[in-house]
């Protein structure tokens, strides 16, 4: 029998969660009701009480109540819920997770969902589904369903929405339970994560073809912030056997305030997991902004390209490129696994080539010099390739290097 975890604030959503529990039971699905309501006693229906959730986060429920800081309390309960559901999944007693709520309930439930590996069903019914759902999804496969009406009682509209949610999570959890714990197929190919941008596509496509020839299955991630986070989450969860990180452009947006940042810790998870990785500097020549009118005025007078109506690119300066090189170097020297770096001396993107609008050899050289300086004395091997990143042969060389690291 499949078991679905229900993460909810029973001090405000008791009626809704009783309905969800009963509706799942009618479909033959067992439930674990996890109470994350700060001012709830569980009403005698919680399987994991609020006090236990707070304790899992290293906190005391009474102290959270006395502090009267709702934001801090919800953050703590989210952390505790994440610990609880991760433990239940590790024990093999959780096959899916369902949460319903407004902004606070969604934040807590989604924090618990993001603690589960990719592939474990996660469904969030939320009043926040029509806005920016990035914080609720994170880098995981969270499915979000708009609640349409507020989650405030069971009525003819909410009943219809919640009935669909129950059917969805029941089906997903049942399918997951059927395969959970099944032995891995020894014939399955090794999984490789690779990062790509529109302006590094030829290099990554060439590398992907080569790795496929060598027997790997290659997962390509679009380096748009979410892509980098997703790849590193898979690496941290043990899904990947190696990483071909040719497109590290998300670091630029973190440095300069662009719209495609993957966060300050980008390029760290793979090294922390000890995985073999081959890294390059793809698309470090550009910072990504939205429509031209949205570019911060502090960058007036810089070299811009309107890539399309919703994307404006800004060329990075020698000083910025040097800082990017330092940041990459500092991250790579801390990696627990083997690392090789490939530097394309004639251009880091499709528009950073001789005659291209972002061609700036001095800026690229500043990046390369700073990166190499940070790597001096380390075990990281640096290859300087006399070509642009998208020239034939670059992707193949990087792919062959990753294959050698994995075999070693």
List pLDDT tens digits, range 125-174.
998 887 778 888 888 889 999 988 888 888 889 999 999 999 999 999 99
Domain-embedded: residue 89: yes
Residue 135's pLDDT is 85
Residue 184 lies in a domain: no
Q: What is the CA radius of gyration of the chain?
A: 24
The predicted pLDDT at position 214 comes to: 96
Q: Please report the pLDDT score of residue 367 as a whole number.
A: 98
Which residue's structure tokens are 């707070």?
54
**pLDDT tens by residue, 192-214:** 999 999 999 999 999 999 999 99
Helix extents (H) in 294-388: 318-332, 361-375
Same domain, 76 and 159: yes
Same-domain pairing of 215 and 262: yes
* Residue 185 maps to a domain: no
- 270 & 126 share domain: no
Count of domains for the chain? 2
For residues 121 and 118, what is the distance between their CA atoms, to the nearest angstrom? 8
Q: How far is CA 154 from CA 128, 147, 302, in A?
A: 18, 12, 55
Whether 320 is covered by a domain: the verdict is: yes
Give the confidence band of 300 by pLDDT, cuts at 50, 70, 90: very high
Residue 397 lies in a domain: yes
CB 250 within 8 A of CB 225: yes
Specify whether 266 is located in the same domain as 336. yes
Measured CA to CA, the distance from residue 84 to residue 65 in angstroms comes to: 20
In a domain, 254, yes or no: yes
Buried b (16+ CB within 10 A) or exposed e, 49-79: bbbbbbebbebebeebeeeeeeeebbbbbbb
Among the three residues 140, 159, 179, which one is the final residue of a domain in this structure?
179
Residues 205-246 pLDDT 10s: 999 999 999 999 999 999 999 899 999 999 998 999 999 999
Tell me what the mean pLDDT of segment 252-262 comes to. Answer: 96
Mean pLDDT, the chain, as a whole number?
A: 93
Domain-ending residue, one of 179, 203, 224: 179
Shared domain check, 112 and 195: no
DSSP code per residue over 101-154: ESHHHHHHHHHHHTTSPTTS-EEEEETTTTS--HHHHTTS--EEEE-SS-SSS-
Residue-wise pLDDT for 15-31, tens only, equals 999 999 999 999 999 99
For the record, the structure tokens of 220 come out as 């390509």
What is the domain extent for residue 52? Answer: 3-179
For residues 209 and 153, membership in a common domain is answered with no
pTM of structure: 0.77
Q: Do residue 174 and residue 232 come from a single domain? A: no
Residue 348 lies in a domain: yes
CATH number of residue 24's parent domain: 3.40.50.12020
CA dist., res. 208 & res. 218, Å (int): 6
| Over residues 73-90, mean pLDDT | 94
Residues 161 and 77 in one domain: yes
Domain match, 341 and 375 both: yes
- Spatial neighbors of 46 by CB under 8 A, at least 6 apart, are 10, 33, 34, 35, 40
Same domain for 304 and 342, yes or no, is yes
- Model confidence at 185, pLDDT cuts 50, 70, 90, reads low
Which of 120, 118, 124 shows the shortest CA–CA distance to 78?
124
> Domain boundary at 179, 200, 224, which?
179
Least confident of 5-9, 136-140, 258-262: 136-140
Same domain, 272 and 123: no
Confidence of residue 43 (pLDDT cuts 50, 70, 90): low
The pairing of beta strand 3-8 with beta strand 217-222: unpaired
The pLDDT score that the predictor gives to residue 139 is: 81
Same domain, 147 and 276: no
- The whole-number average pLDDT for the span 172-179 is 93
Number of other residues whose CB lies within 10 A of the CB of residue 22: 11
Does a structural domain hold residue 229?
yes
CB contact set of 87 (below 8 Å; sequence gap of 6+): none
Q: How many CB atoms lie within 10 A of CB 40?
A: 21
Q: How confident is the model at residue 326 (pLDDT cuts 50, 70, 90)?
A: very high
CATH number of the domain that residue 290 is part of: 3.40.50.12030
């Amino acid at each position: 029998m499949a078991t679905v975890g229900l993460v909810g604030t029973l001090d405000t959503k008791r009626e809704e969660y009783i309905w969800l529990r009963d509706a799942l039971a009618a479909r033959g699905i067992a439930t674990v009701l996890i109470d994350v309501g700060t001012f709830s006693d569980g009403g005698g229906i919680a399987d994991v009480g609020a006090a236990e959730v707070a304790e899992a986060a290293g906190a005391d429920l009474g102290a959270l109540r006395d502090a009267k800081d709702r934001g801090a309390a919800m953050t703590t309960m989210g952390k505790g819920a994440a610990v609880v559901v991760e433990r239940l999944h590790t024990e093999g007693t959780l096959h899916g997770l369902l949460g319903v709520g407004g902004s606070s309930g969604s934040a807590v439930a989604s924090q618990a969902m993001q603690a589960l590996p990719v592939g474990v069903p996660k469904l969030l019914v939320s009043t926040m589904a029509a806005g920016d759902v990035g914080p609720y999804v994170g880098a995981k496969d969270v499915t979000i369903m708009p609640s349409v009406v507020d989650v405030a009682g069971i009525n003819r509209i909410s009943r219809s929405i919640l009935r669909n949610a129950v059917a969805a999570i029941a089906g997903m959890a049942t399918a997951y339970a059927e395969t959970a714990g099944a032995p891995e197929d020894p014939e399955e190919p090794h999984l490789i994560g690779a990062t790509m941008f529109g302006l590094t596509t030829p290099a990554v496509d060439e590398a992907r073809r080569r790795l496929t020839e060598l027997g790997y299955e290659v997962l390509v991630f679009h380096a748009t912030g979410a892509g980098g986070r997703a790849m590193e989450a898979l690496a941290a969860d043990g899904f990947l056997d190696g990483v071909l990180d040719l497109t590290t452009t998300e670091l630029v947006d973190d440095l300069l305030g662009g719209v495609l940042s993957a966060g300050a810790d980008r390029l760290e998870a793979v090294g922390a997991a000890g995985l073999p990785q081959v890294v390059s500097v793809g698309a470090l020549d550009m910072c990504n902004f939205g429509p031209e009118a949205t570019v911060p005025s502090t960058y007036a007078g810089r070299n811009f390209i309107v890539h399309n109506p919703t994307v404006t690119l800004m060329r990075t300066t020698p000083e910025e490129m040097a800082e990017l090189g330092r940041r990459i170097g500092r991250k790579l020297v801390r990696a627990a696994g083997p690392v090789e770096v490939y530097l394309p001396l004639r251009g880091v993107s499709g528009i950073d080539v001789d005659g291209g609008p972002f061609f700036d050899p001095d800026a690229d050289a500043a990046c390369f010099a700073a990166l190499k300086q940070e790597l001096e004395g380390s075990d990281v091997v640096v290859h300087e390739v006399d070509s642009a990143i998208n020239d034939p042969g670059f992707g193949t060389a990087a792919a062959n290097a990753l294959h050698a690291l994995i075999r070693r």
